[in-house]
Amino acid sequence: MIKMIALDLDNTLLNSDKEISKRNEQVLKQLHEQGIRVVLCTGRPINTIWPYIEQLGLTQDEDYTITFNGGLVINNNSREHLFELGMKKSDLSHLFDYVRSEKIPLDVLDFERVYELSDNPGSIYRTVLRNIEFNDLAMNDLPETTYSKAVMAIEPEKLTKIISNLPAELKAHYHAVQSQPMIMEFLPKNLNKAVGLKALLDHFGEDFSNLMSFGDADNDLEMIKAAAQGIVMENGLPNVKAAATAITDTNDNDGVAKYCERYFATLL
């Protein structure tokens, strides 16, 4: 029995204007009111997606969000961390060596803010991620804290070339995943959205047989495979669609709502 719906944002729940459509909003609100847990799953911090949380009414005491691609499970109201998994500064040394030698922009995030490395070329991450503190800091001056991820935010045509030539050493040390055409993320090796979702399911005494997940991109693949109902958008990547339980309509055609309306017809 499905008790939780996990939703990727960009190109899944959000349309091309970065909005939750009225149809998606109404269906998810109805399901939430019927006791189905609605959980947004994103690479972003919670502050940057708060308008979406409020729009869907996910502000009850037992509402949670999966942020940092599974690295942090956070209570929407109390902001208590149910689960977190990150990296030490020393864990990032292989990536630091690579971007320094190749002169590639890099941003590093803890669980509260972004550090844009000032000794590297400028990043476009500030134009992508809003409502979060940015600090310009030299690589050597980064504090000794826990980091959630590192991000290459570069024009898509440049990023594509970088990804095609990414050293095997980096793939061995990190879970490297492209979340948007202009964003490549470097996460702890064994981290993905399914890891955060497992922690949340465990908290409620549930498991993946109780999960429906919606996604489109490589950083959604694990939660699509793990869920009893792994639904991929028509606009999703071919390899992600191949892992799906079902394909729904595109993010611009209310694909989330359309699938939920059919599956949860008796509740709606």
- pLDDT per residue of the chain (268 residues) written in tens, 0 to 9: 999 999 999 999 999 999 999 999 999 999 999 999 999 999 999 999 999 999 999 999 999 999 999 999 999 999 999 999 999 999 999 999 999 999 999 999 999 999 999 998 989 999 988 889 999 999 999 999 999 999 999 999 999 999 999 999 999 999 999 988 999 999 999 999 999 999 999 999 999 999 999 999 999 999 999 999 999 999 999 999 999 999 999 999 999 999 999 999 999 8
Provide the number of structural domains found in the chain: 2
Last residue of a domain, one of 188, 203, 220: 188
| Core vs surface per residue 144-161: b (16+ CB within 10 A) or e | eeebbbbbbbbeeeebee
Last residue of one domain, picked from the residues 157, 188, 219? 188
Amino acid at 139: M
Residue 138 lies in a domain: yes
Look at residue 66 and give its three-state secondary structure.
Answer: strand
- Which residues lie across from 177 on neighbouring strands? 185
73 and 195 assigned to the same domain: yes
Check which CATH number belongs to the domain holding 19 and give it.
3.40.50.1000
Could you tell me if 181 and 200 lie in one domain?
no
221 in any annotated domain? yes
Q: In this structure, are 104 and 177 located in the same domain?
A: yes
Residues in the chain: 268
CB atoms near residue 47 (< 10 Å): 15
Rg (CA), the chain: 18
Can you give the pLDDT at residue 131?
A: 86
| pLDDT at residue 91 in the model | 97
Last residue of a domain, one of 153, 188, 223: 188
| 116 phi, psi to nearest 5 deg | -90, 120
Give me the pLDDT at residue 130, please.
84
Residues 175 and 112 in one domain: yes
DSSP states of 154-202 as a string? --HHHHHHHHHT--HHHHHHEEEEEEETTEEEEEETT--HHHHHHHHHH
CATH number at residue 148: 3.30.1240.10
| Backbone phi, psi, residue 4, to 5° | -140, 135
Range of the domain at 237: 4-84+191-263
pLDDT at 239: 96
